[in-house]
Amino acid sequence: TGESDAGNIYYGAIPPNLRPNSPVIVFIHGYSSRASTWWDGNDMYAKAYNDGYRTAFVSVHPDKTMWVNGQLFRNMLNTITSKYGVQRVVVVAHSKGGLDTDAALVHYGGTAKVERVITLGSPHFGTPLADLAQSGWVSWLSNVFGQVNDATYCLQTGYAGYFRSQTDNHPNRPNARFRTIGAWGYGGLLWISGQYLNWNGGGRSNGGNDGVVTYPSTKRPNSMHLLGGYGTSATNVDHLEVHKGKYMWTHIKNNLP
């Protein structure tokens, strides 16, 4: 994917059919990814544009903690709201981007700039795959992580639990309004990791897993959880699909203020 473009903001074109009083939607990617994940092999940007929404897409560090990315993202939110001349935006976050957003809002004061956050497959309680990556790397993990770094470290279930303890009791927490979506379909490259998660908190009785994150981990405390887990057709997608427009734009649109 080339070198990181962290710190960059990409603004979508202003749609000719711009909806009056519609929110600006800011999209933030997940682990080892970048802004282009929303338009490269993904129709999310096209769907938002065609439906008349203004958009911005950010690149944060693909391999850093939620603390580092949270500060960066908060500064980007200031830039984006100024550029569009709006007070607040809606954030749509994939995977670890949900934790980066949580840090940006609760810990770094971004709540004033964000009306609502919608997370897609975000590991709010971490993932057992990160625990495994830190303790005993196995070859199939390269389909999920690529390498061990600060990001995998902070996605361990223990560290994510620490982050939750610092976040859920924070005085600014009630000002951060989240809605969450989790998925449960997995196969292909994520088949082995999905099987592993079946035995580690992501079995059918718990709602399943998307090949990277268990369904229970996608539920942020004090937040509205949308759709359902195992057996829900809308969420029968894997971790690499849960941020794609063809699967999720309808549900995002239905949850915009």
pLDDT at 1 over 60: no
pLDDT at 74 over 90: yes
Query: How many angstroms separate the CA atoms of 74 and 80, rounded?
Result: 10
The model scores a pTM over 0.85: yes
Q: What mean pLDDT is predicted for residues 218-231? A: 98
- Which residues is 99 bridged to in the sheet? none
Q: Percentage of the chain surpassing pLDDT 90?
A: 92
Residue-wise DSSP of 101-154:
HHIIIIITSGGGGEEEEEEES--TT--HHHHHHHHS--GGGGGTTSS--HHHHH
Beta strands in 13-109 (DSSP E): 25-28, 55-58, 89-94
pLDDT confidence of residue 140: 85
What are residue 119's phi and psi, to 5 degrees?
A: -105, 140
**Domains observed in the chain:** 9-124+158-184+214-253 (3.40.50.1820)
Q: What mean pLDDT is predicted for residues 71-81? A: 99
Query: How many angstroms separate the CA atoms of 105 and 67, rounded?
Result: 11
pLDDT tier at 90 (50, 70, 90 boundaries)? very high
pLDDT at 2 over 80: no
121-177 residue pLDDT tens: 999 999 999 999 988 888 888 888 878 899 999 999 999 999 999 999 999 999 999
pLDDT tier at 102 (50, 70, 90 boundaries)? very high
* E strand or H helix that includes residue 76: helix 66-84
Mean model confidence pLDDT for the chain:
96
Q: Percentage of the chain surpassing pLDDT 70?
A: 99
Neighbours of 9 (CB within 10 A): 15
In Å, the largest CA–CA distance within the chain is 53
pLDDT confidence of residue 253: 98
